[in-house]
């Protein structure tokens, strides 16, 4: 309750005396509760921080005071010039989460004689890069971008290049050294990486067939943001391969989730997934885009259980006034998920995606079972799929659910059968699938679209 503004004959206030007594708890009380001036100077020209630094083995006290001085302060170039090495280091550490400056960069700056120097010039100095070979180009670019608003606040900003709505990143902005592989598929593999200027980890897709990604860009850059579509942030060119950078879905794919022991393919669960997939597919088709690679492994789940359609490596924009995309013979495609007409004529339509949706629902109902897994040779199966003699869901399909702990997902089976109709004209479109799902979930009394029987 004492007057915290009083001082003794040496000009030492309560904060100075608490530092001399090495009383960290009292220092915290005075700074946080009593709001004393932490930068007050005694008659000897000493601040509380300078007194604390004179006390040996009191690193915690020094660290606290340094942090309190730089906390929540607007840092300008002139202000930074008043900081000594210790305060510069503390300021960088305090902003590390915001600026994502690596600890090695901070230690480098602290080791140098930074008093009165322009830190941006220091970070741009080629000699510094040679002196610290462990720091990669992305780290140097990161710290320069962090310091530019302070040391060059009026410098013109160079806009980032874009391709349509996609951002174009430089190779140096992608940290591949600490990348984590998420999985591999028939057309490429996915890496979890960090990219300068992006707040969290993202997914980088590398391709086995680089020419495919170039063709898909025209479709991808036409996509708008949608709750059931994987957000593609941008792209980067690596080894002549255009690699897409997308948001990260922490729970992985529906394929992997469906193969877990606790997965229960009930109507309630499956209809919820079908609703999200059909909603995303309806958005793609409204943009005249065919996905061509719809399967459980390409349906991803966010940490909040939001379901999105991903992997657009085979996606194509339909030609103007065209009803289908004509594929090329040398291009690998996931034939087990393809509709009969796609296999026969290599013509890819919206109704072909609906067939793939039906196969995806089959995967989920069977807890991740591969389509046609009970048949041996695809080369012998393929003609039967094309002529309709081999059906993925037949009259005996419901028998496989006998003896299970959950009832037969009869509503889901009925919708999947409609998606897998051999006659593409009889298949529902994505909006009609959504309507059928809503009726099955009790959200509508009946499906009232007269255009679909």
Predicted confidence (pLDDT) per residue in 175-186, tens digit: 888 899 998 877
DSSP code at position 229? B
Nearby residues of 33 by Cβ (< 8 Å), 6 or more positions away: none
User: How many residues are there in the chain?
Assistant: 453
Buried b (16+ CB within 10 A) or exposed e, 360-381: bbbbbbbebbebbeeeeeeeeb
Mean pLDDT within 233-240 = 85
Buried b (16+ CB within 10 A) or exposed e, 300-339: bbeeeeebbbbbbbbbbbbeeeeebbebeeeeebbebbbb
Q: What is the CATH number of domain 162-246?
A: 3.30.200.20
Buried b (16+ CB within 10 A) or exposed e, 56-72: eebeebbbbbbebbbee
Q: Give whichever of 201-215, 227-241, 249-263, 326-340 has the largest mean pLDDT.
A: 249-263
| Paired tokens of 159 | 């806009």
Mean pLDDT within 367-384 = 89
pLDDT at 445 over 80: no
CATH superfamily placement of domain 1-72: Ankyrin repeat-containing domain (1.25.40.20)
Average pLDDT, the chain: 81
Q: In the prediction, which pLDDT does 90 show?
A: 62
pLDDT-derived band at 261, boundaries 50, 70, 90: confident
d(CA 349, CA 291): 9
- 113 annotated as belonging to a binding site for a ligand: no
Point out the least confidently predicted range of 239-243, 413-417, 438-442: 239-243
CB atoms within 10 A of CB 95: 15
Considering the entire predicted model, what is its pTM?
0.68
Predicted confidence (pLDDT) per residue in 8-43, tens digit: 666 678 888 888 888 888 988 888 888 888 777 777
pLDDT higher at 303 or 90: 303
pLDDT at 351 over 50: yes
d(CA 445, CA 74): 60
**Calculated CA dihedral for residues 111, 112, 118, 124, nearest 10 degrees:** -90
pLDDT at 435 over 80: yes
Q: What is the CATH number of domain 254-440?
A: 1.10.510.10
Mean pLDDT within 353-375 = 94
Q: In the prediction, which pLDDT does 115 show?
A: 47
Q: In the prediction, which pLDDT does 94 show?
A: 55
Mean pLDDT within 405-412 = 87
């Amino acid at each position: 309750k004492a007057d915290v503004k009083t001082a003794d004959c040496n000009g030492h206030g309560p904060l100075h005396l608490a530092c001399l007594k090495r009383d960290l708890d009292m220092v915290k009380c005075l700074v946080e509760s009593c709001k004393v001036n932490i930068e007050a100077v005694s008659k000897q020209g000493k601040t509380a921080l300078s007194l604390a630094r004179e006390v040996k083995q009191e690193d915690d006290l020094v660290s606290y005071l340094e942090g309190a001085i730089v906390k929540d302060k607007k840092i300008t170039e002139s202000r930074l010039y008043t900081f000594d090495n210790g305060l510069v280091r503390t300021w960088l550490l305090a902003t590390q989460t915001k600026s994502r400056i690596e600890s090695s960069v901070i230690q480098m700056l602290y080791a140098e004689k930074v008093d009165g120097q322009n830190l941006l010039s220091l970070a741009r100095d080629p000699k510094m890069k040679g002196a610290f070979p462990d720091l990669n180009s992305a780290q140097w670019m990161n710290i320069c971008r962090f310091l530019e608003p302070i040391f060059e606040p009026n410098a013109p900003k160079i806009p980032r290049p874009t391709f349509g709505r996609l951002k174009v990143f430089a190779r140096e902005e992608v940290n591949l050294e600490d990348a984590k592989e998420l999985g591999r598929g028939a057309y490429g593999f996915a890496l979890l990486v960090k990219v300068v200027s992006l707040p969290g980890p993202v997914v980088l897709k590398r391709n086995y067939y680089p020419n495919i990604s170039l063709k898909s860009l025209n479709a991808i850059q036409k996509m708008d943001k949608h709750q059931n579509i994987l957000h593609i942030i941008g792209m980067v060119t690596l080894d002549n391969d255009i690699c897409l950078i997308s948001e990260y879905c922490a729970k992985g794919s529906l394929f992997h989730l469906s193969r877990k022991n606790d997965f229960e393919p009930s109507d309630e669960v499956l209809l919820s997934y079908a609703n999200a997939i059909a909603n995303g597919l309806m958005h793609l088709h409204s943009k005249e885009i065919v996905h061509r690679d719809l399967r459980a492994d390409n349906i991803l789940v966010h940490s909040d259980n939001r379901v999105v359609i991903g992997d657009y490596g085979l996606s194509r924009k339909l030609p103007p006034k065209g009803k289908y995309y004509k594929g090329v013979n040398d291009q690998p495609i996931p034939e087990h998920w393809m509709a009969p007409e796609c296999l026969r004529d290599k013509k890819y339509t919206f109704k072909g995606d609906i067939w793939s949706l039906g196969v995806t629902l089959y995967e989920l109902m069977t807890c991740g079972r591969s389509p046609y897994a009970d048949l041996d040779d695809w080369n012998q199966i393929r003609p039967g799929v094309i002529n309709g003699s081999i059906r993925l869901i037949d009259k005996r399909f419901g028998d496989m659910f006998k003896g299970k702990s959950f009832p037969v997902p009869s509503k889901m089976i009925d919708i999947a059968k409609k998606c897998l109709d051999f006659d593409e004209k009889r298949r529902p479109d994505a909006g009609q699938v959504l309507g059928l799902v809503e009726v099955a979930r009790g959200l509508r009394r009946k499906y009232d679209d007269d255009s679909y029987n």
